[in-house]
Amino acid sequence: MTTRRYLTTPIYYASGEPHLGHAYTTVLGDVLARHYRQQGFDVFFLTGTDEHGQKMQEAARAQGLEPAELADRMAERFRRAWVELDIAYDRFIRTTEPEHIGVVQAILQRLWERDQIYADTYAGWYCIHEERYWTEKDVGEERLCPDCARPVQYVEEKNYFFRMSAYQERLVRHIEEHPDWIVPATRRNEILGFLQKPLQDLSISRPKARLAWGVPLPFDDEHVCYVWVDALINYVTGSGVLTPDGGPDQPGFEDPSGSWWPADLHLMGKDIITTHAVYWPTLLMAAGLPLPRQILAHGWWVVGETKMSKSLGNVVDPLELRETFGTDAVRWYLMRDMPMGSDASYTPERFIQRYEELANVLGNLASRAVSMLVKYRNGVVPDAAGNGLDEAIEQTVSAVESAIADLRVHDAMAASMELARTANGYIETREPWAQAKDPDRAADLDETLATLARVLTVLCALFQPVTPRRMQALADMLGLDGIPTIGRARTLPLAGVTVTRGAPLFPKPELLKE
């Protein structure tokens, strides 16, 4: 079994601000990375910004900026957003980096020398916003892009094409032989349905006369690389499998084992599954590089029944929510409220409901248990078995590990919260306040308090990937030397450890008090 995990988010287009949809994918990657690190895996987590293309060029012009200025400004905003949301990425990649440009050109040159790219003339309809070509049938009489409903332009120009059609049968065979390569199954079926039609060759260039902002083709300086091809290659650049100046025959193409490649998991929204599950693997096949091990295409965040999108003006800023409720509350809501593969509808009421779950179940449990340890045992965890909730703990840990293995983070968090509810029920059943009044029941009280210390220690580990700041605060209250791993939390000696009261883990903001 591999002891490493290479996880990627899509690189986000640098023409607009970070929003809740971007935050979801990135927090999801961060939660998985933190969980794998807890399990002892060597993890590399990659995110970044996509900075080339005509849409970027047009956005910069509209703001009176050069594309490079806009790219610098937006990359910094994404970086800052991820820092504020506690994203522990290992690398933030930008497609304007010289290293990435060199790797893109090395791959393009390899494809050119392998006769996988050829020149031809393209005539048809082009959408600047989506940066892709459409047929007459696609755009209809209204001449609108099928994806974004914006007007398209008729263009006729020389392009370079990748022989994507040559890899259709091989790709279908790979998907059928690896049923979990694309998850969830609905997205896998969608791609197989797409591949029932003949696969067309892919235009991989744009003439510099129309678009100067891109990676120049190494074999024709008058053309730049299609932004999607440029962007997808970031995963290879980040892995370190190729060097920017190593050319098309460098050792990494033949033996990637000394690098992070192939990626273990590509995370993305369902709207870009075709580029990742069709364009990307066929390009890798043609270049002679291994395919990523798994692709997860999650659902959309919607407002009402409409996809959240900066172009529609209905986005939610995760940093504004963070200012009121805290970073961990935003992370919890995102992970708790979207089932893997399904859409999720954002409403303020739903967000508050999930926040109150944190405060009233987990936060309340921590406050009650620590207060009783301080009140009845001067803050010292008794020397007792503390196994009153062992069965519930083992069932929860098993459920969490199974859910994470299936990439069902929402189910893992539901199971963790259910353990906190069970622990609150344990307090009501055991009635430690009554045990404390009867000297003959001192041993029972010790067992109750030791059990609560144990379950809080386990909950601290279970919630850490999603709510790292507040779990560090809980670990401090419990007198722990850092947040333990899930395995260590079940066996960590707690007898004699001193706990201290702290501020509420999830205090009610003034907004809720009002």
pLDDT, tens digit, for every residue of 436-476? 999 999 999 999 999 999 999 999 999 999 999 999 999 99
Cα distances (angstroms) measured from residue 262 to each of 44, 174, 222, 376, 378: 12, 15, 32, 55, 54
Q: How confident is the model at residue 313 (pLDDT cuts 50, 70, 90)?
A: low
Q: Which of 303, 318, 333 is the last residue of a domain?
A: 318
371 shares its domain with 280: no
455 shares its domain with 375: yes
282 shares its domain with 356: no
More confident residue, 303 or 245: 245
* pLDDT of res. 323: 87
CA neighbor of 418 nearest in space, from 397, 387, 449? 397
Q: Average pLDDT of 84-99?
A: 97
Quick one: which H or E segment has residue 183?
Answer: strand 182-183
Report the mean per-residue pLDDT for the chain. 93
pLDDT, tens digit, for every residue of 360-381? 999 999 999 999 999 999 999 9
Asked if residue 330 is part of any domain, the answer here is: no
pLDDT surpassing 90 at residue 139 = no
> For the chain, what is the domain count?
2
pLDDT surpassing 70 at residue 513 = no
Asked if residue 329 is part of any domain, the answer here is: no
Q: Beta partners for 202?
A: 162
CA neighbor of 466 nearest in space, from 426, 513, 431, 416? 416
- How many angstroms separate the CA atoms of 451 and 369, rounded? 10
Q: How confident is the model at residue 180 (pLDDT cuts 50, 70, 90)?
A: very high
264 shares its domain with 351: no
Is the peptide bond preceding residue 507 cis, with omega within 30 degrees of 0? no
Token digits for 81?
A: 């957003």
- CATH number, domain containing residue 358: 1.10.730.10
477 shares its domain with 395: yes
39-48, 51-60, 119-128, 154-163: which is most confident: 39-48
pLDDT surpassing 80 at residue 347 = yes
* pLDDT of res. 509: 75
pLDDT surpassing 90 at residue 127 = no
Q: Which of 302, 318, 334 is the last residue of a domain?
A: 318
CA neighbor of 325 nearest in space, from 368, 358, 366, 367? 358
pLDDT surpassing 80 at residue 196 = yes
412 shares its domain with 314: no
Asked if residue 333 is part of any domain, the answer here is: no
pLDDT surpassing 90 at residue 41 = yes
Asked if residue 239 is part of any domain, the answer here is: yes
C-beta separation of 7 from 48 below 8 A: no
Q: How confident is the model at residue 150 (pLDDT cuts 50, 70, 90)?
A: confident
Q: Which of 298, 318, 338 is the last residue of a domain?
A: 318
258 shares its domain with 368: no
Q: Average pLDDT of 317-341?
A: 89
269 shares its domain with 360: no
Give first-to-last CA distance, the chain, whole Å: 53
Q: Average pLDDT of 296-301?
A: 92
DSSP string covering 318-358, please? HHHHHHHH-HHHHHHHHHHH--TTS-EE--HHHHHHHHHHI
- How many angstroms separate the CA atoms of 28 and 298, rounded? 10
Asked if residue 388 is part of any domain, the answer here is: yes
* pLDDT of res. 306: 60
C-beta separation of 24 from 331 below 8 A: no
Q: How confident is the model at residue 15 (pLDDT cuts 50, 70, 90)?
A: confident
Asked if residue 323 is part of any domain, the answer here is: no
* pLDDT of res. 310: 54
C-beta separation of 480 from 457 below 8 A: yes
* pLDDT of res. 309: 57
Dihedral (CA of 310, 316, 320, 322) sign: negative
305 shares its domain with 362: no
278 shares its domain with 357: no
**pTM for this entry:** 0.93
Quick one: which H or E segment has residue 94?
Answer: strand 91-94
Q: How confident is the model at residue 141 (pLDDT cuts 50, 70, 90)?
A: confident
286 shares its domain with 428: no
Q: Average pLDDT of 337-351?
A: 87
* pLDDT of res. 307: 56
Q: How confident is the model at residue 510 (pLDDT cuts 50, 70, 90)?
A: low
CA neighbor of 276 nearest in space, from 256, 252, 295? 295
pLDDT surpassing 60 at residue 308 = no
- CATH number, domain containing residue 296: 3.40.50.620
The strand pair at 306-307 and 91-94 is best described as unpaired
Asked if residue 332 is part of any domain, the answer here is: no
pLDDT, tens digit, for every residue of 394-427? 999 999 999 999 999 999 999 999 999 999 999 9
Asked if residue 305 is part of any domain, the answer here is: yes
165 shares its domain with 230: yes
Determine the structural domain holding residue 162 and report its residue range.
Answer: 4-318
